[in-house]
Amino acid sequence: MLIMKHLIFIPAFIGLSQSLLAQAPAAVAAPAVKATAGQGRLSGSVVNASTRQPVEFATVGLLDQATGKMVESGVCNAKGEFSFTKVAAGEYKLSISFVGFQTKILEHVNVTSGSAPNLGVLLLTPAAQQLGEVKVTGERELIENKADRLVYNAEKDQSNTGGTAADVLKKTPMLSLDADGNPELRGSTSVKVLINGKPSGMLANNIADALRRLPADKIKSVEVITSPSAKYDAEGSGGIINIILKKGDLSGTTGSISATVGNMNNSLNSSITQHQGKLTTTSELGLASYFNRYHSEISRTDVLAPGEVAQLSQRTATRNYNQGLTGRLSFDYDLTTKDVLTLGANTELFRYRGTRGMTSAYTAPNLPDDIYRRDIDWPYAENRFPSLDVNAGYTHTGKRPKQEFSVLGLLSTSTGRQAYFLDQFRSEGIDYHETNVNTSRNRELTFQADYAQPTDSTGLLELGAKTILRRASSDYTVQADSLEGRGLALVPSRSNQFDYQQNVYAAYLSYGFSLHKVYSFKLGTRVEHTSVLGDFATSTDQVRQDYTNVIPNVLASYDFGANKEQKLKISYTRRIQRPDIWLLNPYVNVNNGRSAQSGNPNLRAELADAYELGYSTSHKSSTLNLSAYWRQTNNAIQQVFTPVPARTIFPDDTTNTSVLYSTFQNVARRSSGGLSITGSTKPNPKWTLNATLNAFYLSVKSPMLGFGNQGFMYNGNFSSAWTFEHGYSLQASMYVSSRRILLQGDVSGFQTHTLSVKKELFDKKASLTLNLENPFSRTILFRADFAVPDSYNLRSDQYAYNRAVRLSFNYQFGSTDAGPSRPRKAIRNDDQKKGENGG
């Protein structure tokens, strides 16, 4: 009957037009246990022991001194005041608590009939104590398992110091990075990466490069959301990766300065948070640079005819340099005790430099050998990627816990200019010159409104609406000079200009409740309508798509054990994955004379069903989390390689050769099932062990094409940390990943290892950390094998130089007295499928 009560409540509640938020209470809320009628009164006020400011909304409980039974309870008003009326004569004890403060207990409080004692000012001590400068009691575990997500508290992992976001994601449970540095979740590339719950312009151009630019010292935690609720965007069949940056929610002024020097990356960052009355201001400025180099070898066999083959071999050496600055400025203003206004801006100004040398040799029967060398240069002046995010929001909280209304807006813009200069040499000298310029603009405007209403002590109804308006444009030109005296000339067949629009309109309804304090349920539905319009200047193709999707989700959990230390949960959700502009663009990109790639304007959004069963338990200083899952996508988007006659790409070609052509199609049935295990333990107070392992079986099959691929995959991270006397600590970690399976091939696995030594300085105000990454191996090998039956066999060996040494210094300053934490809302745009390489 209780379950039916909650289920039938949803439609009944939606129809109530009077569901508006009430105003703030003037004093204490209704009692939890009705007191015996009496004439006594009891009052007082609660203030922060450090700042002497009122602690609004602190919980005050009146308990029977003899039995400890709750007699009456409520919360303080905006001035920190509380008052109990009609209290029966007797002896009581008073309990005062609030998040971020130590609970205060007053024993033997006497109330007599007709009396009205005033306890005066009661001091509540913050739980965050000032030891040196920053020291917080009640430490979080390195890995936390919550109802709908797994949280990796990166700030607690000292080996991340001085690194980048890419280093952090490699250590996050269930995540891995492919050979190009793009994130994968349980082997799926269909993931959305968010910054503080919002999309960011810094991720618009190249996710892998953006992760290498973002310093790890700015990251507080990483959330891995495998079964998002209806409140999240429906896109992202693999799940959501949410990177939470550090932010000061403290009174007074706090700040930090950090610097890192190393052979792979260098950075200098500063931040300061100032809290004055109702206004909190946070500003950050950072400079960063990273260096990356690798070399590769490609060997390809082309079957031209029965018994007739051609061979292609290429060797490349690449060096990349990336440098620039990041800045953030945010304002949080408390209009009233229940109304919060937020305004913020993030910017990134980076430039890129790269060089590549490539030698190529192609030998085929009845054709002269084609041997040449290419030098390619991407100069700093021509390769830059500025981005800007501006967000604003208003949040109103009601008198009941979790009662809230918010309106949010986000404008995310990014522009890019990319250019390269290519010189080609043969035995007689330079014979070809080519230049490319690509200018692009992206704009994303988002509006979102959310409303949450508690229905009883455990039930919570959430509903909202959202609009995402996307605009993208690109102008891509290639000019070539065959050195025949004509100079550089435009190559129309390889130049392109396009404009793209994608509008998403969504609404959701979600309801969660608990039964008997051990059962929890959350169910919801999200409806999304998508409209796509794309025009391509060099093609008659146009993209015209309109479709609506209904996305349900269900989550149930059960807490059991002597102290409810065990949890069992089960979930189901449907997800969609829309192709973005790069997968839809029909422009043919010619990498060299032997391969080409294009998008497919006829791609449809893919649908995936995800099921998950989880178990978690804790005992003393040990925790264990298990999760079994299954994901099925019946119209998966896959990159498909096929041979085509060279003349279809190059109309003037008269040879009997073919070109390896790739595009994207809805041709595969993709399914994966596996088990994730995460555990941590502390054999003694100074030693911590953590381990995560994700193992699954992946099957990718295409009935339309008549072939597929399947196999067992795994990845895991293992770490051990030891704290010594005099502020020293040591940590070692290792990451392993098996091969990655694709529709027409696979990519080899790899492993990395890290050693870290940290020394705290200046009464724990500062620290010095030395990190060694892969000290025992100079490079990591990524081997990819692809095959097209009876046509092509290709092997690519990429050797990435990944032996890194870095020394980092961090200094924190300012007071750290905790003030009441205010609710801060954020927009989450969790959508758009990228290619297999993330871009």
pLDDT in tens, 294-347: 999 999 998 877 888 889 999 999 999 999 999 989 898 989 888 989 999 989
As a whole number of Å, the end-to-end CA separation of the chain is: 51
User: What is the number of other CB atoms lying within 10 angstroms of the CB of residue 623?
Assistant: 20
Residue 541: pLDDT band with limits 50, 70, 90? confident
Cα torsion 179, 184, 187, 189 to 10°: value is -90
Question: Residue 489 half-sphere exposure, CB side, CA atoms within 13 Å?
Answer: 11
- Per mean pLDDT, which range of 446-460, 656-670, 818-832 is the poorest? 818-832
How confident is the model over 215-272, as pLDDT tens digits? 777 788 888 877 777 777 776 656 778 888 776 544 567 788 999 999 998 999 998 8
Q: Which of 633, 639, 600, 660 is nearest to 747 (CA)?
A: 639
Collect contacts of 457-461 with beta carbons under 8 A, ≥24 apart: 458/513, 458/514, 458/515, 459/6, 459/9, 459/511, 459/512, 459/513, 460/402, 460/511, 460/512, 460/513, 461/9, 461/10, 461/13, 461/509, 461/510, 461/511
Radius of gyration of the CA atoms of the chain, in A: 30
Domain 23-126 fold: Immunoglobulin-like (2.60.40)
For 481, 506, 707, the CA distances from 243, given in Å and listed in that order, are 46, 24, 38
Question: Would you say residue 273 has pLDDT above 70?
Answer: yes
Q: What is the reported pLDDT for 16? A: 31
What does DSSP assign to residue 9? Answer: H
User: What is the number of other CB atoms lying within 10 angstroms of the CB of residue 770?
Assistant: 16
252-814 matches 23-126 in CATH topology: no
H or E segment and range at residue 208: helix 207-213
Q: What is the largest CA-CA distance in the chain?
A: 112
Q: Round to whole Å and give the CA distance between 830 and 232.
A: 7
Q: Cα 366 to the chain's mean position, in Å?
A: 53
Token digits of residue 605: 């959004």
Residue 557 makes CB contacts below 8 A (sequence gap 6+) with 147, 519, 520, 521, 567, 568, 569, 570
Q: What is the reported pLDDT for 232? A: 73
- Per mean pLDDT, which range of 24-33, 121-130, 706-715 is the poorest? 24-33
For 7, 9, 13, 516, 750, the CA distances from 2, given in Å and listed in that order, are 9, 11, 16, 10, 52
Q: Which of 499, 497, 447, 443 is nearest to 470 (CA)?
A: 443
Q: Which of 167, 166, 165, 154 is nearest to 754 (CA)?
A: 167
Domain ranges (residues) in the chain: 23-126, 252-814
Q: What is the reported pLDDT for 17? A: 30
How confident is the model over 744-799, as pLDDT tens digits? 999 999 899 999 998 989 888 888 999 999 998 889 999 999 998 888 899 999 99
Q: What is the reported pLDDT for 131? A: 32
Question: Would you say residue 23 has pLDDT above 50?
Answer: no
Cα torsion 150, 154, 155, 157 to 10°: value is 120
Question: Would you say residue 710 has pLDDT above 60?
Answer: yes
Question: Would you say residue 536 has pLDDT above 90?
Answer: no
H or E segment and range at residue 646: helix 646-649
Q: What is the reported pLDDT for 10? A: 40
Question: Would you say residue 202 has pLDDT above 60?
Answer: no
Which position has the higher pLDDT, 341 or 820? 341
Amino acid letter, residue 312: L
Instruction: Report the b/e string of 562-601 with b at 16+ CB within 10 A.
Output: eeeebbebebbbbbbbbbbbbbbbbbbebeebbbbbbbbb
Question: Would you say residue 507 has pLDDT above 90?
Answer: yes
Which spans in 233-375 are helix H?
none
Q: Which of 666, 667, 646, 649 is nearest to 657 (CA)?
A: 646
Token digits of residue 84: 């109990």
Residue 652 makes CB contacts below 8 A (sequence gap 6+) with none
Token digits of residue 203: 């991720």
Determine contact, residues 379/332, Cβ cutoff 8 Å.
no
Token digits of residue 158: 């000292």
Q: Round to whole Å and give the CA distance between 395 and 406.
A: 4
Q: Round to whole Å and give the CA distance between 36 and 23.
A: 29
Mean pLDDT of the chain: 81
Amino acid letter, residue 23: Q
Q: Which of 707, 711, 704 is nearest to 748 (CA)?
A: 711
Domain 252-814 fold: Maltoporin; Chain A (2.40.170)
Determine contact, residues 781/228, Cβ cutoff 8 Å.
no
Question: Would you say residue 35 has pLDDT above 70?
Answer: no
Residue 574 makes CB contacts below 8 A (sequence gap 6+) with 234, 551, 552, 553, 607, 608, 609, 610
Determine contact, residues 646/658, Cβ cutoff 8 Å.
yes
- Per mean pLDDT, which range of 78-87, 296-305, 702-711, 722-731 is the poorest? 78-87
Q: Could you tell me which residues are beta bridge partners of residue 99?
A: none
Q: Round to whole Å and give the CA distance between 269 and 282.
A: 14
Amino acid letter, residue 805: V
Q: How many helices (H) and strands (E) does the chain have?
A: 5, 46
Determine contact, residues 650/623, Cβ cutoff 8 Å.
no
Percent of the chain with pLDDT strictly greater than 90: 31
Q: Is 763 exposed, middle or buried (0-12, 13-18, 19+ CB in 10 A)?
A: exposed
Place of tokens 């995402």: 468
Residue 738: pLDDT band with limits 50, 70, 90? very high
Residue 328 makes CB contacts below 8 A (sequence gap 6+) with 282, 283, 284, 344, 345, 346, 347
Strand ranges for 482-605 from DSSP E: 489-490, 496-515, 519-536, 542-560, 566-577, 589-592, 595-597
For 9, 142, 288, 548, 661, the CA distances from 221, given in Å and listed in that order, are 36, 9, 20, 34, 41
In this prediction, residues 611-618 reach a mean pLDDT of: 91
What does DSSP assign to residue 818? Answer: B
Q: What is the reported pLDDT for 86? A: 79
In this prediction, residues 482-510 reach a mean pLDDT of: 86
User: What is the number of other CB atoms lying within 10 angstroms of the CB of residue 390?
Assistant: 15
Please provide the DSSP assignment of 13-38 as one string.
HHT-TT--PPPPPSS----SSPPPP-
Under DSSP, is residue 383 helix (H, G, I), strand (E, B) or coil? coil
Amino acid letter, residue 329: L
Q: Round to whole Å and give the CA distance between 712 and 730.
A: 34
Q: What is the reported pLDDT for 294? A: 92
Place of tokens 């405007």: 445
Q: Which of 502, 510, 512 is nearest to 527 (CA)?
A: 510
In this prediction, residues 592-621 reach a mean pLDDT of: 85
Residue 32: pLDDT band with limits 50, 70, 90? very low
Q: Round to whole Å and give the CA distance between 670 and 612.
A: 17
Q: What is the reported pLDDT for 585? A: 77
Q: What is the reported pLDDT for 166? A: 74
Which position has the higher pLDDT, 808 or 87? 808
User: What is the number of other CB atoms lying within 10 angstroms of the CB of residue 796?
Assistant: 18
- Per mean pLDDT, which range of 148-157, 293-302, 528-537 is the poorest? 148-157
Question: Would you say residue 722 has pLDDT above 70?
Answer: yes
Q: Round to whole Å and give the CA distance between 174 and 188.
A: 10
Question: Residue 1 half-sphere exposure, CB side, CA atoms within 13 Å?
Answer: 0
3-state per-residue secondary structure call for 708-746: EEEEEEEEEEEEEEEECHHHEEEEEEEEEECCEEECCEE
Q: What is the reported pLDDT for 9? A: 44
Question: Would you say residue 19 has pLDDT above 80?
Answer: no
Percent of the chain with pLDDT strictly greater than 70: 83
In this prediction, residues 611-615 reach a mean pLDDT of: 93
In this prediction, residues 124-147 reach a mean pLDDT of: 54
Instruction: Report the b/e string of 263-282 with b at 16+ CB within 10 A.
Output: ebbbbbbebbbbbeeeebeb
